Amino acid sequence: MIIGIPAAHPFLKGVPERRVTLSPAGVREIVALGATVYLTSGAGDGAGFQDDEFRSAGAEITYTNEETIRRADLILQIGRPHPDEWNFFKRGSALFGFLHLAVAPEELIQSFLERKITVLGYELIQEQDGSLPVLRSSSEISGNLAVQIAGRLLESSAGGKGILLGGVPGIPPADIVILGGGTCGYYSARSFLGIGASVYILDRN
């Protein structure tokens, strides 16, 4: 099995993308099982992993995503491939990632169908009880990050109004409105309550 790990595109929906699909430890385990791993140079930089760490774990470093994707039987990617990469996938290969195929461009789906590519979206992995374990863990992380992001955006240096989320004696805490009471909303609410903000959740149920 030849596994390819392309570098993520710098911005995903306007947000800096720093994740990589496997850590050097993960690469080491896969290589020990007999797989060959190709990784695009710099793919782990945003997550704090250098090429040398992956190389020491047994990965072979390539210079472009095209080389990585064309060589691989299985491509592990964070998000959907960039339109420039659609033609790099060889016939019969497989792609795993957060693909959100329900809202993917029709041209991408057609490209996969024509090449008979096996596609697995992590967000659709489902337990027998209907729960989505991968999506749940991602939502937990997003919910906990909401406090950090909101606090940073409210600082005057970021163009905010200089509001302190938790308040101080004599100054009331910020009012936080969360739209949706799912996993992400729940963890957001818990985090905002933890710093003393006033939290309101709006949900259809």
Burial class (CB in 10 A: 0-12, 13-18, 19+), 129: exposed
CA distances from 172 to 65, 167, 198 (A): 51, 5, 9
User: Closest Cα to residue 151, out of 191, 200, 190, 201?
Assistant: 191
The residue type found at 166 is G
Taking only Cα atoms into account, the Rg of the chain, rounded to an integer number of angstroms, comes to: 21
Token pair belonging to 157:
């240096």
Q: Is 9 a catalytic residue?
A: no
Distance CA(157)–CA(195), nearest Å, equals 21
- Given the residues 1, 100, 131, 160, select the one marked as catalytic: 100
User: Closest Cα to residue 61, out of 32, 41, 76?
Assistant: 41
Q: Tell me the catalytic residues.
A: 100
